[in-house]
Chains A and B, each alone.
Chain A
Amino acid sequence: MATLLEQVEPDAGLQPAIVGRNPWALAGRRLRRNRIALAALGLFLLIVLMSVLAPVYAHQIAHENPFAPNLNGTTIVNGKVVPVMQQGTGGLHLGETPIGPTLDPHHYALGADDLGRDVAALLLYGGRSSLQIGIASAVICCVVATIVALIAGFFGGVVDAVLSRIMDIIWAFPVYLLAISIATELLTHSNGIPVGPFRVGAASLWVPTFIIAFIYVPYVYRPIRGQVLSVVNKEFVEAAIAQGASNLRLMFSEILPNVVSTVIVLLPLMIATNILTESALSFLGIGVQPPNVSWGTIISDGEDLLYTRPWVSLAPGIMIVLTVLALNVLGDGVRDALDPRAKLRVEG
């Protein structure tokens, strides 16, 4: 491959000023110049890092086990030892908070929930599930959609028609309702869901991951199929056919590199969408199951405590907004960097 590229490199003597750069390097440079997108990336990575370090925070800093009730425990607020379940004074004007946000990372930084658990530590553990599901389902969704789109676009004809119609049918379901119907079905398998030789527990994080990945496949499939169709008849594909390339090679080493930028643009946006979907499903009680927690389940738990301990619901919501906002801004930046038309639009 490298030797081929070197042969078609323009003669250095004719055009000395032009240095060849590959499009990825150019896109990377454009992205690095986009300060807002970089800040968004930084924020996202920070949230990921905080969530990954959840056990460290819980055990080393807060010294609380966020999964065990602590109704009779005590903590220190403003230098005084007080019971965790102490009644509040209502001074916050947004409902009463028994152990309100102390903003002291060692002692219930974001207060306690109705079981005396540390909301800050719960929040970080919740972030682990939410991010894991969001990222994993986005990756699975994009990979599956890309493969199906490659097959449909490459073979065309009946294959394309059948695959596209199947995608249309999945997409004709209202998204949340489809997720709800699959989730209620899967959650009734209390002794595990058989997946080939394995059994996935009904409370496993993989259940919401696969549901969310599945429902958005048609959404990702459409633009990628369009992209495949636009390159499948190009000369370089014909050249590869003339060289005797196999179908697999045509699909994965000729066409795929030309559509992968669309996938990369979609990925951060899908992670954002999937985190929102996960939180919605968990809020309805059919996403992440106990003992796992996610931002959605914490908001759902906090719903009953809204007027007495508002931070149980507020904190995870703010985390979701920050994460999704960062991903959307990053996604915009990636699109501007990879999509030449977007660049034209900015200049125009």
Chain B
Amino acid sequence: MLTFIVRRVLWTVLVMFVITVITFIIFFKTPGVDPARAIAGRNSNPQVLAEIRAQFGLNRPLFVQYALMMKSLFISRNLVSYSNQGLLVVPEIGAAAPATLSLVFGAAVLWVILAIAMGLAAALLRGTVLDPLLMIIALIGFSTPPFWAGTVANLISQSSLHNTFLFSWVPPLGYTSFAQSPTLWFKGLVIPWITLSFLYIGFYARVLRANLLEIQNEDFVRTARAKGLRERRVLLRHVLRNSMITFVSLFGLDFGALVAGGALLTEVVFGIHGIGFLTYQAFTNLDLPTIMATVVFGAFFIVLANAVVDVAYAWLDPRVRPT
């Protein structure tokens, strides 16, 4: 078990190292990019440029630059954005994280509850018209482009219907922090939550339904029935719990990816300035420090999600528990 964990941690560190190196190299291979010019402004004289190069270590070899950047990202935590003067990157991510976490957590709660309800309903109603109907709805959910779902939601809630009682409570686009106003925070996130979860409910309901139907024929389910357990208990404790294994592992990965910046499209459409939005902006501005920081943040969350999934796996399925 210990060697497994150690190997896993080492591999994780290696992956994060390679990812940062690749990002770094892609950036410096991009033509027309001169960080010194980005820092100094467009009309700076050569002398200022040279000073800045020396100050930021941009005249040093690439690997030294890489090491300097990693040092100021992890150790001194004073990495400065190239495109936005004087802006510290690490606090900037800290400021963006709550928006993304609020968005993803709320959506995740919605999608897990609704997907379980829908998957169970479809599996139990097998053979009726409702099962294929539910599955078609599920398919539509994950066939919809995420940003377009947001566009349609905006059209409905911000346009002429906004003046009717249905949507008059919807605040203008954007994110209000919980500390500022809990009610506005909630109101502003309801539509993004629904939109984001809409894309996942269908997929998860389908996965769950398929697993439920498969598990229903397992020996241990027959045993549970044979020993006289009540149907509800068989369904919830034996069938559902075991069917949740795939569900949980997928959930962990999707959740991690969303927090890591995968909610980018939803954030852009709803004007929520979270991690995804920050990363996207950094890429379009070719702002290397911010890119590096967000990529590291993202990779960290994905890795964390993987670890949580493994623990959840062991909790759900006694067969994979390490002895």
Contact = CB atoms under 8 A, between A and B. Distances in A.
Interface of A: 90, 93-95, 168-169, 172-177, 180-182, 184-185, 188-189, 272, 276, 279-280, 283-286, 296, 299, 302-303, 306-307, 310, 313-314, 317, 320-321, 324-325, 328-329, 345, 348
B31 A189 contact: yes
A110 to B, nearest CB: 16
B38 interface: no
Contacts of B33: 188
Chain B interface mostly helix, strand, loop or mixed? helix
Interface in B261-320: 261-262, 264-265, 268, 279-280, 283-284, 286, 291, 294-295, 298-299, 302-303
12 contacts: A95-B155, A169-B18, A280-B265, A283-B145, A284-B265, A299-B151, A313-B151, A321-B140, A321-B144, A321-B145, A328-B142, A345-B210
B64 interface: no
A272 B143 contact: yes
B154 interface: yes
B155 A182 contact: no
Interface stretch (B22-30, B46-54, B78-86, B179-187): B22-30
Contacts of A299: 145, 147-148, 151
A95 B19 contact: no
B22 to A, nearest CB: 8
A313 B268 contact: no
B117 interface: no
Contacts of A286: 284
B264 A176 contact: yes
A93 B33 CA distance: 47
Given A172-B299, A313-B148, A321-B143, 13 more contacts: A95-B155, A176-B265, A180-B279, A185-B30, A188-B31, A188-B32, A276-B143, A279-B148, A299-B145, A299-B148, A299-B151, A320-B144, A328-B142
A307 B172 CA distance: 14
Give the size category of B's interface with A.
35 or more
Contacts of B265: 176, 280, 283-284
B154 A306 contact: yes
Given A185-B26, A321-B140, A176 B261 contact: yes
Contact of B158 (A90, A184, A285, A307): A307
Contact of A177 (B139, B146, B261): B261
A34 B141 CA distance: 22
A321 B33 CA distance: 38
B302 A174 contact: yes
B101 interface: no
